[in-house]
């Protein structure tokens, strides 16, 4: 069964710093990988979707990469802001209906 | 934009009550999902549906059932709520293609006392 790991579980950085969040998965046979943001007590907001044939996706200050062969993805956040504080989840899709989630990295950006 | 809505943001129920959680999506998506999210355990799939009146068990279906009478609506039912079903419940939908992204609703925080 696919296992998804996110390290670290929590991260605090000063405002303005660039940072990288990590996601690893055990089975490289994936359709895509999706990064989500979750604010406390709220649902998930999709940030970026990378198809298995792609290496990276960018949206504004966010850049996600995918190395399927090594089972890794990173989410790069440039020039972090206090509003970026949230929990970031990655999820890999291995079938039409199978989405496996990591337990998330809780990010705090300190003003 | 895709919109997934859930009937309640917060719900408090007593042990033994029958509980209905409803989810509606407005993008004509074939697939709909119910997850629960607990600290340290992440999101776990309860049930999913790939068509009207069709359902499949996820990883943790025990104590739950679902109903999908219309394409846009997917209901999660707790037949007899128990305290260990206190959790955040998240609904999601996606088009019927493996490469499509999932869209989530705002979640329902259910407390069973």
Q: How confident is the model at residue B74 (pLDDT cuts 50, 70, 90)?
A: very high
Stretch 5-44 of chain B: residues touching chain A, C-beta under 8 Å:
6, 31, 33, 40-43
CA distance B109 to B5: 14
| Spacing of C-alpha B65 from chain mean position | 10
Instruction: Return the SS3 of A85.
Output: coil
pLDDT at B39: 87
Q: How confident is the model at residue B1 (pLDDT cuts 50, 70, 90)?
A: low
pLDDT at B101: 82
Mean pLDDT value across residues A35-50:
93
* B98, pLDDT greater than 70: no
Residue A40 near residue A30 (C-beta atoms within 8 A): no
Please list, in sequence order, all residues whose beta carbon lies within 8 angstroms of the beta carbon of residue A77, skipping any fewer than 6 positions away.
A18, A19, A20, A21, A61, A62, A84, A107
Could you tell me what percent of chain B has a pLDDT over 90?
78
Instruction: Say yes or no for a CB contact (<8 Å) between B90 and A44.
Output: yes
Nearest CA in chain A to B50: A97
């Amino acid at each position: 069964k696919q296992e998804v790991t996110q390290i670290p579980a929590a991260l605090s950085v000063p405002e303005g710093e660039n940072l990288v969040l990590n996601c690893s998965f055990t089975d490289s046979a994936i359709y895509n990988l999706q990064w989500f943001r979750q604010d406390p007590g709220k649902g998930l907001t999709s940030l970026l979707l990378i198809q298995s044939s792609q290496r990276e996706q960018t949206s504004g200050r966010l850049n996600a990469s995918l190395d399927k062969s090594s089972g890794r993805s990173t989410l790069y956040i440039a020039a972090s802001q206090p509003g970026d504080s949230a929990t970031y989840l990655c999820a890999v899709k291995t079938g039409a209906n199978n989405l496996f989630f990591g337990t998330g990295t809780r990010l705090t950006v300190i003003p | 934009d895709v919109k997934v809505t859930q009937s309640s943001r917060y719900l408090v129920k007593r042990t033994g009550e029958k509980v209905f959680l409803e989810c509606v999506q407005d993008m004509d998506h074939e697939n709909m999902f119910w997850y629960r999210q607990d600290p340290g355990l992440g999101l776990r799939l309860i049930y999913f549906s790939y068509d009207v009146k069709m359902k499949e068990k996820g990883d943790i279906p025990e104590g739950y059932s679902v109903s999908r009478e219309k394409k846009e609506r997917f209901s999660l039912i707790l037949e007899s709520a128990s305290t260990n079903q206190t959790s955040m419940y998240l609904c999601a939908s996606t088009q019927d293609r493996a490469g499509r992204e999932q869209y989530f609703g705002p979640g329902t925080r259910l407390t069973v006392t």
